[in-house]
Every structure is written in C-alpha cells, then in structure tokens.
Structure 1
Amino acid sequence: MTEQTSQVQTFHVLGDIRIDQPPERVFDCVTDLAASGQWSPECGGGTWIVGAAGQVGSVFRGNNHREPTVVEWAPVVRGDWSTESEVVEAVRPEVFRWAMRDSAGNTQESVWSYEISADGTGSILTHRFWMGRLTEGMRGIMADMDPESEQQFISDWGAKIAGDIGETLRGIKTALESGSPK
C-alpha cells in the first residue's frame, strides 16, 4: 500500500538534506541495515531475514530502543523491541522504501523511505514517513484514548517523528561526509 492508493492519511512527515556524496554512495549507506544504528535515534540496526539488501520483497528485522521520556504520557513501547518490515520499492540509487509488517506478517499502511536525487556533485536525501490507516500497534496504543487524547497523541507523535527524521538525516550526512560508513 502506498500513499497514492490509500484514502486515509494519519501521518506524512518528511525532511531532506544535501550530502556531498553521489547518489549511489548515499543509497548504499541507507540500505546498510547494520550501520543504521549509527545515525538513528531509535533504530539500533537491523538484519535481513528474507532476501537481500535493496530488493523488493526482502524482509528485515529492525532492532529498536525508545527512552522513557518519549511522549511519556502515552502508552507506547519503551526500552528494546524489534519490528519486521518488507521492502516495497527499491531502485538504486533513487529510492529505498519499506512497509512495516503486522504480527501476521502483512504489510501495513506504515511506510518509511529514503529518496535520493542528484544535486551537482552531491545528493539531496529525503527521508519520509507516511501512515494511512492506523497500524496494529497504533490501534493498541490509542485503544483507551478519548478523541481529544487521540488527536493530542497524533500531534505529539508527528512531532517526535519529525525530530527523529531530522536527527537521522544529520547523522547520515555526518557519517557519509566523514567517510565512516563503508
């Protein structure tokens, strides 16, 4: 499911940054799951469990950690946990997009992506999150909320995601321009 085909939009958050590296190098960096923990404030890295890096249909497990102070009033997962995601689009060096899976292994309308475009001798990297219908996890978080609390949670969670996206982009830029990722 993509944002173009859903009639619902819960979140659409994105950010971009210019990186002084060619698109191919940026693509290789953002598809290196093991290294993603170097720049993400929540994802500690990941491993491929079906298929291979950068291939549509491949599945990976992401290892995550969330501090107790993140939207602390809401009943979100804290500490360590993992997710499974399926690659839904991969075109080197332009786009790497994955959808979160539910507990039955079905993709949900929760899609993350990196989109890369050439910019002179460098690249523009866009990191995007889109959610259509609420995911299994979000339905659980919001199950006991009244409508006002639901709206507050969507607002607070959107701000948290925007902050994470910005931090991730700055981390990728620093890693690539310092030469630390492979």
Structure 2
Amino acid sequence: MLTFEQLKYGTNNQQKAYDSIKKLGIFEGLSEYTPVLCGTIPIDVDIEDSDLDLILEVHDFEEFKLLVTSLYSEMPGFTIAEKQIRGESIIKCNFIYEGFEFELFAQATPVKKQYAYLHMVVEYHILKRKPYLKEQIKQWKRDGYKTEPAFCKALDLNGDSYESLIDYGIRHSIIEEVNHD
C-alpha cells in the first residue's frame, strides 16, 4: 500500500493521481480534517474509471459543507449530500478534476477507523499474501463488481461484503476489533 508521497513513483495512473491531488491542493485545503487517500489506486487494483476516494474526519458538518463548496463547487460534476451509513451521518462530495472523479467522504470517525481505510488495509494484506489475485480482482472490477465484492468473491466470503472484509481482517489479525453492526 503506497503512501500518498510514494504515488509519485508508482504506476502511470498513480503518478497522475498524485499530480492531480497536488495541483488541487486538497491535502493542504482540507488539512484540519486529516484527509487520507483510500481505495484502489494506493493498492494498484484501479481500473480505467477508478475514482479518487479521500476520507476525512469531520465533526462540524455545516462548516465542512461551506468549505468544500467554496473550494470545489466550480468543478464539473460537483455534488454534495448528507446521508446515513450504518447509522452514522456522513457527507459525500463528488467532482471531476483532470479526468479523475474525486469522492470526499466525511464522517465523525478518525480516518484510520473508517471502513474505507480498513478495507484498503485488509485488501492490501490479501494481495501481499495472494498476489495472484490482483489481475482477477481487476477483471471482476471491469466486469462491474465494486472492489469489496470482488475481494469477497476471490476469498469466497459470503454476506455483506463490507462487513465480511472487516471480519476477515479481524480474524486474520490484519486489523483490530472495530465497532460494526
């Protein structure tokens, strides 16, 4: 799993993602929310239309909405929505920049305890232990699978794929116990 800074030495798409994020200044502009890049690009299972998922720890949703609106509302495809996921309020902001769809995902949970981060860590460790799965995961993603269901299919995990990956991570001592329903 590459850190953000390591992306500049990664694959072509990782380098492009790094450049776009740097030009956008997202880590500086949203630094108080401890942004972390998650998803497929840091673990190199991205495909042609993969987005850039940034997760953030936000406690004041109104202040955050004002800030991201002021920073990104002029971007193509800008949307912002407040939702409930697993009983917790979240804010999702999407927009397009330099050919990448950005998704900012904010909730009042430390970033290293958010599902997106935990899934990425589990997926990274799975690929370290079973590197032969990488191309199959990418193919399933091209066939329409989301990342977590593709990993669950590869591991023959049943049930809710988002919960199953967390459970797998706990059972295999990749991550510690987390509060999940």
TM bucket by the smaller chain? under 0.3
The TM-score normalised by the length of structure 2 is 0.27
Greater relative contact order, per chain length (Cα 8 Å cut-off, separation 6+): 1
| Structure with the bigger percentage of helix | 2
Structure 1 length-normalised TM? 0.27
- Name the one with the larger strand percent: 1
